[in-house]
Each structure stands twice: as C-alpha cells, then as structure tokens.
A and B are shown apart, each in its own frame.
Chain A
Amino acid sequence: MILTLTEAERQIALGISVAVALGGLVLAAAGTQDTMEVHGWLILVFGAICAIVVIRDLWGPEPPRSRLESYYDEPIKAGIIASMAWAVVAMFVGVWVAALLAFPDLTFDGAWASFGRLRPVHTSGVIFGFGGNALIATSLHVVQRTSRARLPDQLSPWFVLVGYNLFCILAASGYLLGVTQSKEYAEAEWYADIWLVIVWVTYFVLYIRTLARRKEPHIYVANWYFMAFILVVAILHIINNLAVPVSLGHAKSYTIWSGVQDAMVQWWYGHNAVAFFLTAGFLGMLYYYLPIRAQRPIFSYRLSILSFWGITFFYMWAGSHHLHYTALPHWVQTLGMTFSVMLLVPSWASAGNALLTLNGAWHRVRDDATLRFMMVAAVFYGISTFEGSFLAIRPVNSLSHYTDWTVGHVHAGALGWVALITFGSFYTLVPSLWKRDTMYSPALVEWHFWLSLAGTLIYIFAMWNSGIIQGLMWRTYTEEGTLAYSFIDSLRAMYPYYIARTLGGLFFLIGAVIGAYNMWRTIRSAPSSAPVEGDVPLSAATAVARG
C-alpha cells in the first residue's frame, strides 16, 4: 500500500508518523501521574508502527503515471477490512454487555469489565469503528465514481483512515481504563477529541478537493448526503467537546457548558449524531449502491433532493426531545417534538423512494441476498423513523423514556437500517474492488442475511416488551397512592427479555462473523480470469440472478 504513494508523499507520511509518535511520548511524559500515560505509550507505539511500515517501502519504485487513469481504491479496501474488524469486536462486546444485564457476575471482578466501562466500548465500537470506517470507505468510493475523478492525492485518504482508527482505539481503550467525559457517544477525552478534529477537517478538505476535480458537472445526490454528514459531524463534535482539561497532564476535562445548556448541547449533538452520522451518510450509501445493485435508476431524483433538505434542516432542531419533562424550557421541548414529528415526511420519502426503486425488480430482491439486505434496511429505516417520531411526542415519551423501549428503538435503526445497508453495500463493493466475479459463497450471504434479520427481530421485540412493561410498572399506583412496584420488581420482570435480547444480539454477531469470513475468503480467492469490464456489481448481480 505504501508503494502506491509517490516518493514525496512517503516522506511526508514518515514525518507525520514520527510526529505522532513524538506527540505520544510528550503525552506519556506529561501524564505520568495519570491514565493519560497509557495513552501516550499507545500513541507512541501506533506512530512507530506506521513509521516502520512507511520506511520498509520508502525507497521503493515510484508508482506509474498510469495510476491517474484509474480510481484510487487502496484506502477504500483497507476501510472495509477495518470496518468489519470493528464490527466483530464491538458486536461481541455488545453481546457481552447484554449478557451482563441478565448475569451481572460476568464482570469477573475486574473494574474494566463493569457495565459502565464496557457499554461505551460497544456503542463507540459499532458507531465509530464499524459505521465510521464504512462511511469513510464508501464515501471515498462514491465520490470518485460519481465525480468521474480520482482522489486528488494518495496521502490524505490514508491519513484520514489511519488517523481515524487511532481515535477509535484511543476512545475504546480509554473507556476500559475509566477515561471518559461521560457524554453519550462523545465519551472520548480532550486529547483524542483534538486529534479527531484534525483528522475530520482533513477528511472534509479531501472530499471538497475531489468534488472540485469532478468531470461530471452535476453533483450526484449521494454526495450531498455524505457532504452533510462530514460537515455537520465536524460542527457537532467541536461544539459538544469544548472543554477545559484539569491540567495538560490529566485526561480529565470539564465541559465549558453548564447545567441545562450542557444537557441541551449534549443532546443536540447526540441526536444529530444519529441524524448525520447514522442517517445522512448511510442514505448516501443507499442512493448509490441500491440503484447499482438493482440495476435501476432511483425512482425519483426530485424526491431525493426534497428529502435531503428536509432531513438536514429538520433534524437540526429535534435533539431537545431527549429532554422532555426536564429543566429545559417547555417551548424548546415542544420545538424538538414538533420537528421530530415533521421529520417523518422526509424520512418516509427516502424509504419510499428506495422501495419504489425496487418496484419491478422484486425477482432480483428474491434471488439476491445482497439486494435483500438493502431492501430490508429501507423497511427498517421506515419503521424506526416512524417509531422515533412517535416516541418524541411528549406524552408517549413519559411512558417510554428511561426504559428499554428507547434501546429497542436505537437498535431497530442501528441493526435493521445502518448495519444492513452497510452489509449490502459491502457485498456489492468487495467483489467489485478486488475484481472477483462474485462473493466466495453466496450461500453464506444468505446465512448472514437471515441471521441478521432474525437477530434484529428477536432483539427489538424483546425490548418493546420489556420497555413497555417497565414503563407501566414504574407508573402503576396502588389505591393508597403509592407506587405498586419497587424498582427491583421491575428489574426482575426484565430477566427473560434480557436473555432474549442477548440471544438476538448473538444471532446478529454470528451473522457479522460469517460476513467477515466470507469477505476474507473472497479477498483471498484467485482473481477472476476474464478481464472485468466496467463496474462489477452489475455483472455480480446478474450472476446471482442467473444462478
């Protein structure tokens, strides 16, 4: 992979790696009295490994000029592998924390294995590790194809991908050490946050530079979604993580926001993380890979534009629905609730647009598990956005909030929509990028699909049941006007559902492991003998349809 960089780029890459390693050394030296020291050494080792990888090929031959006549896919391949690796690890931790709720002794008396530390490893691992790497990989693939232009250089995509994974490692390892700023989906501490800003701005500039080089005058709508994702996540990340460290030698920091403002900023961030990280970018995937795989243009391009502007501008205001019945001013709560309900319109427009695109290609959905992944993802997108709008209504929220219903809702979106559209996109991309006719085993894709679907359904039905039971038990009063059930009573009632949820999660994990294995075998298999003409997903899809 280093050989695809020009000589000048290799030297800069070496310089950056050494600078990162030295930065780690400084952090380790400054934080000797703190958990930050561990992170300092970790960064040092990471930078050193990168430097060694670069040095090994530093004086290798220059890449040929003919490289400019093809797209630059090396970092995309690496991003897909990283994404699947994070998926397996983080979903395993997810099953573990689910089991912890049913069997609390699974901590093995280690502080690092307590629920509070493992849970963010799961959430950040799946959202940022699995989802983030998938978004970086697919966005760089889509922007090149739809702009008909190669990435402007070879170094910055690697900086974005490798630097981003350093952030993910710092975040996940920090949670195990107890380093956290206790903000949902933004637990990583200040030094990791500053690093992510550098990486993310590079990502943004890389995307803009590629678009600026485009040969196709119109910017295809999938790019708009990716662009919104990159831009808004930058804004959200910076504003929510404005914090002052206790000292430069300590991992702990305190946010500059106070009281109810802090809560509002946090949930403005938190809900827009769902909106722009987990929705906009993945809609970008949907609008590109679904038409490609179905071999049909999107049903209505105009509708996709309308839903884009609806989603970007409505979502911005919806965050306050996380703070119903709190100290937040009533009108702000109402504002969040109203925008959340209105969001149903652009959300269903996108889901409907995807399903209507498939209208006339249902035989392909039946025969091709990859396309079925995308179809079911669109259905779950519709279901979870309807549920989200419903849960945001204040009186409904009074029943659902703080219960497992919320957890079920998140997983309907995360498993059913985000993960399934990602797997569908990967199964389209992997044979295409590695120049193979099909996946190693179409049967294993089927297994992955049905395990994922069964796991998701078991999970969300368990959480719907437990959530509503919890909510009702917490608000049931006796004739004397006291609460009928203690909290422990409601916890005991959850026991069977927690076991069911662990089982559902386990199904989903097994599916992801099968998917990773299948992709690995595809990558390791012999390249197809016939020279591949054009975009492979199309021929792959027809091959499956024929077969």
Chain B
Amino acid sequence: MDISHDALVAFSKSWGLFYLIGLMVGVLIYTFRPSNRKKFDKAKQSVLDQDDKPWT
C-alpha cells in the first residue's frame, strides 16, 4: 500500500476538520443541555460535603 504525502494532507485537512467540529458540537450539546443543569449543580456542591467516609 502506498500512501502519498498529498493524500495524507488532504485527509487531515478534511476529516481532521470535520471530526473536530463534530466533537465540538457534541461537547456543546452535553454542556448546555438544560436537563444536565441539575446534575452539574449537584456535582459542584457535592465536593464540599463534610462527610469523609465511603457510601455503602
């Protein structure tokens, strides 16, 4: 199999771009989805809990 330099460049410049944009869209949806808001608020408060024992 022979992969030319130009083919690799073309691949990186197209698919490399698309998957990063896809990733960005996915991350933005996850971050700003209204149903996640409660979970995130709970997460950031929960580290301040004073109990120092594993839950059973």
Contacts and interface: CB of A to CB of B under 8 A. Distances in A.
Nearest to B43: A218
Contact of A534 (B31, B32, B50): B50
A29 B45 CA distance: 57
Interface residues of B, number: 29
A144 B54 contact: yes
Interface stretch (A116-124, A145-153, A481-489, A511-519): A145-153
A313 B19 CA distance: 11
A96 to B, nearest CB: 40
A318 B53 CA distance: 41
B40 A301 contact: yes
A302 B44 CA distance: 10
B23 to A, nearest CB: 6
Contacts of B24: 309
A218 B51 CA distance: 18
A295 B52 CA distance: 15
Nearest to B41: A301
Given A306-B31, A313-B20, A291 B56 contact: no
Given A218-B39, A306-B31, A329-B5, A297 B47 contact: yes
Contacts of A71: 52-54
Given A215-B55, A221-B43, A291-B44, A305 B27 contact: yes
A149 B39 contact: no
Output the residue of B24, B46, B49, B54 with the most chain A CB within 10 A: B54
A533 B54 contact: no
Interface residues on A, range: 35 or more
B56 A69 contact: yes
Interface string A214-230: 01101011100000000
A295 B48 contact: yes
B47 A148 contact: no
A164 interface: no
Given A218-B43, A291-B47, A305-B30, A535 B52 contact: yes
A342 to B, nearest CB: 10
B54 A220 contact: no
B48 A149 contact: no
B54 A148 contact: yes
B5 A148 contact: no
A150 B47 contact: no
A76 interface: no
A335 B20 CA distance: 14
B15 to A, nearest CB: 14
Given A292-B47, A534-B51, A313 B40 contact: no
Nearest to A295: B48
Interface in A411-455: none
A538 B39 contact: no
A372 B22 CA distance: 39
Given A292-B48, A295-B48, A331-B9, A302 B54 contact: no
A63 to B, nearest CB: 15
30 contacts: A70-B53, A71-B54, A145-B47, A145-B52, A148-B55, A150-B54, A215-B54, A216-B46, A216-B55, A218-B39, A218-B40, A220-B43, A220-B47, A288-B47, A291-B48, A292-B47, A292-B48, A297-B45, A297-B48, A301-B40, A302-B40, A309-B23, A309-B27, A313-B20, A329-B5, A335-B12, A534-B49, A534-B51, A535-B51, A536-B52
Given A295-B48, A301-B41, A306-B31, 13 more contacts: A71-B53, A145-B52, A215-B56, A216-B55, A218-B42, A220-B43, A292-B48, A298-B44, A305-B31, A306-B27, A309-B23, A313-B20, A534-B51
Interface of B: 5, 9, 12, 20, 23-24, 27-28, 30-32, 39-56
Interface of A: 68-71, 144-146, 148-150, 215-216, 218, 220-222, 288, 291-292, 295-298, 301-302, 305-306, 309, 313, 329, 331, 335, 533-536, 538
